[in-house]
Structure 1
């Protein structure tokens, strides 16, 4: 173990398994610091060498993926991240991280028969793994951050018609009928409805504070910060809501909806799938996902002309109106020219007009 001086700073030189290692001590080259290094730092370094800390460890993708997961373990979405990392390790796990190329990443992502928005989630995990390796100074740059997937597909909304809604409600029974009545008249996400507690509902509004997500042991906070919101109770929603509150109180439960199988709150929105398929079959309504109750609410509100796009966006829990306009523009184009042509934008009977008055 020897001291070296470089640019006025102290470095230590030592060997592990015939491999030379030079490390900066981050100290200026002074007599005092050389004494400190030999008396304090050398013994500590010897201990680390003896413990095997400086033995060469293969810097594989798997090695850094475990470090990445350790940084994510307190995240609400950890289970999903873990699944994506498992897929990444299946493809690249035993390869050294500096041997992976951008082409390797692109070809792997293209092998997935999924939407681009889903591929993005795998790319986010890859970027995180490569960033850990970059921070460890094993790679010169994070090549995953230079990979792009392309434009994400627009969400395909396929709302139910007014007649289809009537048929679905007519063929639904008991609590599931109440669920559909609430879903069609609030636009709430499936997990948000299943996460509702009686205390979240007052005379005129519903406060959305939590949601049920797949594999969650307990309801968690909703999808985004904007998803935490308060929405008005429409008159059409009230009968379904009041009947379900009555049922919940009879069962003496805190949650608005409880699983008939477990007697506890729903842990997974998929629990409603069997009931939904049964109602679709009996009502002879074309198959669509249960999530389309949300799209149906949004398009019906926009077509009514009684609420603004921004109001609809806020009721749905979106940050702004952009997503609403992008997703539902095709369903409201026919309404664009239905305006009151008698509207007066400027003052009549005066030469000055509105603009002069404002000046």
Structure 2
């Protein structure tokens, strides 16, 4: 490993772009803004382990092939300096490779564009900030970390994120696990274990007003093979969502999967396959506040609420609607809880579902 040391003198203050936070705990038809979290950069000395490195790591992204420059991280690395350089576009196309032999305390990291963060099982511990800030990031990979989140903060938090992979992380504590808002496309969240968050374990929000052409071009996202224990909302999808939710385990959340659209159909479109998820010990299994369902398939899911006579396996409210020409197919699900008759009436098929279903 070849190391260059670059000394940057003077006080540098970097403010991360302010991003608003939307949660199902807020009014589903209104964006609620929270103050941005600023990162202050003190006088810094950066240890660049990647300079003059001859080895290259090649990763295939959803939109491009990136040749990464390796940058090795240990507990002596200057995170303020790294954040400053990422924020200013200096680190673009790097793989930040962590040493897993020590814990990283008071951790915070900006992601930038075209960067990969490889944890190798390293433990990162938050103090007063989100662990990863993904603001305006494209082509990002975050994988293989044990994340202990600071109280009131998130493991991964930000807005306007495209072509991201968040995989095989263990996330514990904090307010949110993964919280991406304003806009997103082509997000893969897979193989993560999220426990003990107080609000949203996984939240994706996209409240753009999309034309038919823009909606047709919107990228698919995949949420698969995650384990979520606890939280208020295990999965929260606001506004537009297109993708697959498959093979996840949710246990003990108030709400399993929430689709919370806005009042205008142009910023509340839904096209989703929900397949083979296990949702246990919840007040509501799938909550359909989404105003414009263009396509919905649910198959082979197990949804067990805490009480089948008072809790909902599938729930809608007055904002729910099926679009003109839309399709809803519900097959072969085990449902222990209430299902709205209005929802069943608009389904193209509601067949071979079994369990202890109470229609209300």
Q: TM-score range by the shorter chain?
A: under 0.3
- Which has the larger strand fraction? 2
Give TM-score scaled by structure 1 length.
0.21
- Which has the larger helix fraction? 1
Structure with greater Cα Rg: 1
If asked which structure has higher relative contact order (CA below 8 Å, sep 6+), I would say 1
